[in-house]
C-alpha cells in the first residue's frame, strides 16, 4: 500500500510538472506572437490627402532594422489579410521591420476591376509615400528597404524598383512581371528575386522569363526559380486547390535567404 501511495504521489507530481511545462510553453508562444503582433496606424501614412491603411511588425531587437513592404495582388480588399499578418510577424521574427500597405486607398476602388491599369500611377504614389515614411522612421535603416509583391503587387514591386532605385534596395516578386512601359528602366533595378509557377494560367510564365531576360541583358543581379507543378497564387491558402504548402514554404525560405543576402542582414539566432 505504501509503495502504491508513493507511486501515485510521484505520478501526480510529474503530471503537475508536465502541465506546468505546457502552460509555460503556451505563455511563451503567446508572448512571442504578441511581441511581433501587427500594429495598425491609419493616420501616419497619406498620399494625395488620402489616408493609406497599413500595419507593421517591429523586431524585438534594437534597430534600425532592414524593412520589407508587402503588396497584395488583384483581389477584393482584405481578402488575404490574415496571411499577410502571418508574414508580417514572420518577417519581424527574422529581424525585418515588416509593413503591409493597402494601396487601394490611393484610389476610389476597393477591389480588382478591369480598368486597374489606370490606377497604377496612384498606387505607385502610395508606395512612394510609404518609402518616404519608412526612410524617416528611426526604427528602419533607409538604405535597406525591400518590396515583396504578389501578382498585381509583384508588378508594383518591380515597377517601384525601376522607378525608385535609390529607395528600393531589393525586390521579391511572386508570379508577376514588369510593366511594358517600365522596361526601359530595367538597367537601374535593384537585386530581384523572381518566383513563378510553370502552370500559371493567370499570369503566364513568359512574364517571368521575359523579366529574367531583361535583367540579364542589363547585367542586373537577380535570381529566378520556377516551380514546375505550381500555378498562380501557390502560397496563399485562399487559393484553394492551387495552394501548395511545401512549395509555399520553399518560396518563403528562398525569399528570406535572398533578402538576407541583398540587404546584408544577419538574422537573429
251 vs 240, more confident: 251
Of the spans 7-11, 17-21, 180-184, which averages the highest pLDDT? Answer: 180-184
The domain limits of the chain are: 1-35, 38-262
Query: What integer pLDDT is reported at residue 112 of this predicted model?
Result: 58
Rounded to a whole number of angstroms, the CA Rg of the chain reads 22
211 vs 243, more confident: 211
Q: Quote the percentage of the chain above a pLDDT of 90.
A: 69
Average pLDDT over residues 179-190: 96
- Specify burial of residue 258 (Cβ count, 10 A radius: 0-12, 13-18, 19+): buried
114 vs 203, more confident: 203
With contact defined as beta carbons under 8 Å apart, do 179 and 149 qualify? no
Average pLDDT over residues 51-66: 93
Looking up cell 522612421 gives: 137
Of 60-64, 78-82, 158-162, the least confident:
78-82
Q: Cell numbers for 243, please give them.
A: 495552394
Q: Which residues contact 107 (CB under 8 A, 6 or more apart)?
A: 119, 122, 123
Instruction: Write out pLDDT tens, residues 151-181.
Output: 999 999 999 999 999 999 999 999 999 999 9
Cα(111)–Cα(73) distance, integer angstroms: 10
Q: Which CATH architecture has domain 38-262?
A: 3-Layer(aba) Sandwich (3.40)
Q: Quote the percentage of the chain above a pLDDT of 70.
A: 81
Confidence of residue 39 (pLDDT cuts 50, 70, 90): low
Amino acid at each position: 500500500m505504501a509503495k502504491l501511495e508513493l507511486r501515485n504521489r510521484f505520478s501526480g507530481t510529474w503530471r503537475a510538472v508536465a502541465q506546468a511545462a505546457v502552460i509555460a510553453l503556451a505563455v511563451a508562444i503567446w508572448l512571442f506572437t504578441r511581441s511581433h503582433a501587427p500594429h495598425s496606424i491609419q493616420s501616419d501614412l497619406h498620399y494625395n490627402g488620402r489616408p493609406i491603411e497599413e500595419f507593421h511588425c517591429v523586431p524585438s531587437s534594437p534597430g534600425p532594422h532592414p524593412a520589407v513592404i508587402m503588396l497584395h495582388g488583384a483581389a477584393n480588399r482584405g481578402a488575404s489579410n490574415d496571411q499577410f499578418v502571418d508574414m508580417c510577424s514572420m518577417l519581424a521574427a527574422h529581424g525585418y521591420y515588416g509593413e503591409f500597405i493597402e494601396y487601394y486607398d490611393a484610389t476610389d476602388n476597393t477591389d480588382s476591376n478591369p480598368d486597374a491599369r489606370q490606377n497604377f500611377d496612384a498606387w505607385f504614389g502610395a508606395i512612394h509615400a510609404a518609402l518616404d515614411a519608412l526612410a524617416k522612421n528611426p526604427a528602419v535603416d533607409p538604405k535597406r528597404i525591400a518590396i515583396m509583391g504578389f501578382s498585381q503587387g509583384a508588378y508594383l514591386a518591380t515597377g517601384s524598383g525601376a522607378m525608385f532605385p535609390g529607395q528600393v534596395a531589393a525586390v521579391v516578386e511572386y508570379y508577376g512581371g514588369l510593366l511594358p512601359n517600365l522596361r526601359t528602366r530595367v538597367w537601374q533595378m535593384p537585386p530581384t528575386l523572381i518566383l513563378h509557377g510553370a502552370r500559371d494560367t493567370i499570369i503566364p510564365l513568359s512574364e517571368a522569363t521575359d523579366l529574367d531576360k531583361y535583367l540579364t541583358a542589363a547585367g542586373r543581379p537577380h535570381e529566378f526559380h520556377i516551380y514546375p507543378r505550381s500555378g498562380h497564387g501557390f502560397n496563399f491558402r485562399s487559393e484553394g486547390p492551387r495552394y501548395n504548402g511545401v512549395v509555399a514554404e520553399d518560396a518563403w525560405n528562398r525569399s528570406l535567404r535572398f533578402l538576407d543576402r541583398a540587404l546584408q542582414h544577419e538574422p537573429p539566432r
